[in-house]
Amino acid sequence: MTNGLVVEKVEPQPTPKGMRGKWNIIPLNQPIPNLGLHKGGNLFPGGHDKLIFTGLYNEIGSFYEGPLPRDTVIRNNTFTNTFFDSIKVYTNGKGAVARNITITGNRITGWHTNPMNPKSAAAINLRNVVGGVIRNNTIGPGAAAPKISQPIRLHGCQGITQEANQVE
């Protein structure tokens, strides 16, 4: 991939004391150009130590914002028994869009909602994405409530092509 970053692997890490969730180190095929690191005590956007920042967030628990996804490929993965959306590319806000997202060759089964918190779920959920393709994915049965869930959900998207996806 030219002019892009490729994730080489995901290295699970122990959860730091006092924190929650899963922590990983994600080596890339090349350094991120012009990367600014936040070294201050105020991590909130717009705070007094706001710096150039690149962030990657898996499960957003507050109002943090990472870079808007662009030219991203999610390919040849297997997702099994995930809570809520197995693959989710989601932006929210005026003019905030993800661009050119390709989701291809993935196998998704057992996507469902948490029984303690029954919300809608989708195997693939895109919101505010401009341009991209969802192709050759196999979506097995989910256990989410069918009245509020669907295998592929698109909201506020433009120019998304769906080709040869198989819903079982």
| Together in a domain, 3 and 44 | yes
User: At which of 66, 96, 115 does a domain end?
Assistant: 66
Mean pLDDT computed over 72-99: 87
Mean pLDDT computed over 58-86: 76
Whether the per-residue pLDDT at 61 is higher than 50: the answer is no
- The span from the CA of 91 to the CA of 157, in Å, is 11
Q: Which residue has the higher pLDDT, 152 or 19?
A: 152
Mean pLDDT computed over 64-88: 83
| Together in a domain, 92 and 164 | yes
Question: What confidence score (pLDDT) does residue 58 get?
Answer: 45
Average pLDDT over all residues of the chain: 79
Q: Which residue has the higher pLDDT, 79 or 114?
A: 79
Provide the residue range defining the domain that includes 140: 68-168
Whether the per-residue pLDDT at 51 is higher than 50: the answer is no
| Together in a domain, 72 and 144 | yes
| Together in a domain, 53 and 115 | no
Mean pLDDT computed over 150-163: 95
User: At which of 66, 85, 119 does a domain end?
Assistant: 66
Using CA atoms, how far residue 9 sits from 2, 22, 147, in Å, is: 19, 15, 37
Lowest mean pLDDT among 3-7, 42-46, 119-123: 42-46
Whether the per-residue pLDDT at 60 is higher than 50: the answer is no
Total number of domains in the chain: 2
Whether the per-residue pLDDT at 52 is higher than 50: the answer is no
| Together in a domain, 112 and 153 | yes
| Together in a domain, 98 and 143 | yes
Which residues, 6 or more positions from 124, have their beta carbon under 8 angstroms from its beta carbon?
85, 86, 87, 88, 103, 108, 134, 137, 139, 151, 152, 153
| Together in a domain, 60 and 101 | no
| Together in a domain, 56 and 91 | no
User: At which of 66, 81, 103 does a domain end?
Assistant: 66
Whether the per-residue pLDDT at 118 is higher than 90: the answer is no
Q: Whole-prediction pTM value?
A: 0.65
Question: What confidence score (pLDDT) does residue 69 get?
Answer: 82
